[in-house]
Amino acid sequence: MTANGALFGRLTDADDERVELLRSVIDCMPSGVVVVDMDGDLVLYNAAARNALASRFVPLEVCWPDREVFDIEGTRRLEPSELPLARALQGEICDDVELTVRTKANKTAMLRVNARPMLQIARGTLWAVAVFQDIGEEIDAARHQRELERQLAQAQKMESLGQLASGIAHEINTPTQYISDNVRFLSDAFEAMARYQGEVAAVVADGAVEAEAAERLDGAREDAELEFYAEEVPAAIRQSLEGLDRVASIVRAMKEYAHPCDTKEPTDLDHVVKTTVAMSKNEYKYVADLELELAGDLPKVACVAGEISQVLLNLVVNAAHAIAEAGRERGVIRIRTSAVDDGVQLEVTDNGVGVPEHLSERIFDPFFTTKAVGKGTGQGLALAFDVVVRKHGGRLDVRSTQGEGSTFTVFVPRNAREAPAA
Ligand SMILES: Nc1ncnc2c1ncn2[C@@H]1O[C@H](COP(=O)(O)OP(=O)(O)OP(=O)(O)O)[C@@H](O)[C@H]1O
Ligand SMILES: [Mg+2]
């Protein structure tokens, strides 16, 4: 491009030296500069404008008339009359207008534009100049910041919920106990009344009651639908007691999980598995069935039960996500415990998407995630690794076949010793 070539279009009449000087100055500017004539056609632009809007293959002159301009969110296309340069040609001064530009060069740029009218007295016409900055990074950073703030707020909410959990568990525990006692009492009462009613029916059937009275009693029994109740009430009571048992076991698990204990105590890992599973049902029940293969006679291992429970919870949630991602109808998560050499092994197997081989090391890195923003933060396995390997001197391994599933193995030594910090 020559000094007076396309870049300066109609400025070719001007003094060459001044044009050259002006060209050098505006080409050095980091902001884009564009000048258009009354028809909106390019009169002048600088290198930054070309970089922002054109590509190596499509020069700015070509993609300028074809550009599409949207609001900064990229959702509403702006009318030609709303564009800053068009408004400047109407004599308006536009400051800090933010918009998104898409050009034929397949470029999308987020720009902050200032535009001014430029009276060309010698030519008897009006031009307009726009100076703009690319604010894509600024907007990305602001969005990222907002997302981090949202995650932080969520984490704080979860933390305070965690602190409240043991209190809530305690509060639920008390009414659950007296509801259970009352339902058991009602069960006994119903049995007694059913026995009495059976006796009355037998007396009536034996003909020991006057015919008129017998008829009345029969009618009353039918009206009260006693046969129906005799069948259904015991089932309803049994189900209520089962439900209450479930509530009680979840509450117990929550109390144990929330218990602020961080010392290693001899622990039965089968029990940890059972309580964790009771709490985490909601995390997997829509995508998978859970199968437990518990050893039943595990030696106790020295560990912080709450921490191992959290590790297991992370593994179960990951397994559920992997199954959901595989998109098959319903998956299976299997948790197996076994006594090995000098400790206890805990395996979580799923038939989800599996881990690609080249990622099998990286998945334990802090903040490594393949999940969408808001679904995963990449901290689950990093935390699990820290708890198992560093705090308990154990091992955490993965075996996986892509497309078939994964098995995560946690080994907790019987006499856990904290590994020295790396
Ligand atoms: N069972 C699994 N099957 C397939 N991939 C898995 C499994 N578990 C973990 N991964 C992979 O490892 C990555 C890291 O897991 P990690 O638990 O550390 O973080 P996350 O689940 O993405 O987020 P967070 O646990 O913080 O919510 C996941 O994003 C996923 O790609
Ligand atoms: Mg996870």
pLDDT in tens, 368-408: 899 987 778 888 999 899 999 999 999 999 999 999 999 99
Model confidence at 317, in pLDDT bands (50, 70, 90)?
very high
Residue having the nearest C-alpha atom to atom 28 of ligand 1: 369
Separation between Cα atoms, residue 99 and residue 112, nearest integer Å: 7
Q: Is residue 1 situated within a structural domain?
A: no
- pLDDT higher than 50, residue 4: no
Ligand nearest to the CA of 350: 1
Residue having the nearest C-alpha atom to atom 29 of ligand 1: 369
Domain count across the chain = 3
Among the ranges 67-71, 333-337, 388-392, 411-415, which has the highest mean pLDDT value?
333-337
Same domain for 19 and 111: yes
User: What SS3 string covers 280-303?
Assistant: HHHHHCCCEEEEEECCCCCCCEEE
350, 364, 369: which to mutate for ligand 1, most atoms within 8 A of CB? 369
The pLDDT assigned to 122 comes to 82
Model confidence at 121, in pLDDT bands (50, 70, 90)?
confident
Select from 273, 254, 261 the least CA-distant residue to 346.
273
Geometric angle at alpha carbon 320, from 143 and 241, rounded to 5°: 120
CA distances from 210 to 160, 202, 206, 301 (A): 70, 14, 11, 74
- Reported as a single tens digit per residue, the pLDDT across 151-196 is 788 777 777 777 777 778 888 888 999 999 999 999 999 999 999 9
The CATH number of residue 39's host domain is 3.30.450.20
Residue at a domain's end among 225, 260, 295: 260
The pLDDT assigned to 13 comes to 55
Among the ranges 103-112, 256-265, 339-348, 378-387, which has the highest mean pLDDT value?
339-348
The CATH number of residue 347's host domain is 3.30.565.10
- pLDDT higher than 90, residue 81: yes
Separation between Cα atoms, residue 17 and residue 8, nearest integer Å: 13
Residues 245-257 have a mean pLDDT of 81
Model confidence at 5, in pLDDT bands (50, 70, 90)?
very low
Same domain for 116 and 13: yes
The pLDDT assigned to 416 comes to 63
Residues 280-285 have a mean pLDDT of 88
More confident residue, 126 or 167: 126
State in Å: Cα 382 to ligand 2 middle.
9
Residues of the chain with pLDDT > 90, as a percent, come to 59
Residues 276-282 have a mean pLDDT of 87
Q: Is the CB of 319 under 6 A from ligand 1?
A: yes
- Reported as a single tens digit per residue, the pLDDT across 253-274 is 777 777 666 788 999 999 999 9
The pLDDT assigned to 303 comes to 92
Same domain for 51 and 175: no
Atom of ligand 1 nearest to the CA of 370: 29
Model confidence at 420, in pLDDT bands (50, 70, 90)?
low
- pLDDT higher than 50, residue 3: no
Which residues, other chains included, contact 190 with Cβ-Cβ below 8 Å and sequence gap of 6+?
233, 234, 237
The pLDDT assigned to 193 comes to 94
Same domain for 143 and 88: no
The pLDDT assigned to 249 comes to 81
Same domain for 272 and 248: no
Same domain for 170 and 84: no
State in Å: Cα 120 to ligand 2 middle.
64
Residue at a domain's end among 208, 240, 260: 260
Model confidence at 294, in pLDDT bands (50, 70, 90)?
very high
Same domain for 357 and 330: yes
Same domain for 227 and 146: yes
In one-letter notation, the amino acid at residue 183 is V
Q: Is residue 352 situated within a structural domain?
A: yes
Atom of ligand 1 nearest to the CA of 375: 27
Lowest mean pLDDT among 41-55, 142-156, 200-214, 344-358: 142-156
CA distances from 207 to 170, 213, 219, 226 (A): 56, 10, 16, 20
Same domain for 35 and 100: yes
Whether the CB-CB separation of 43 and 36 falls below 8 Å is answered with yes
Residue at a domain's end among 241, 260, 279: 260
Whether the CB-CB separation of 321 and 374 falls below 8 Å is answered with no
Q: Is the CB of 405 under 6 A from ligand 1?
A: no
- pTM beyond 0.75: no
Separation between Cα atoms, residue 192 and residue 348, nearest integer Å: 48
- pLDDT higher than 60, residue 9: no
Q: Which domain holds residue 356?
A: 261-422
Q: Is residue 372 situated within a structural domain?
A: yes
Q: Is the CB of 382 under 6 A from ligand 1?
A: yes
The pLDDT assigned to 298 comes to 95
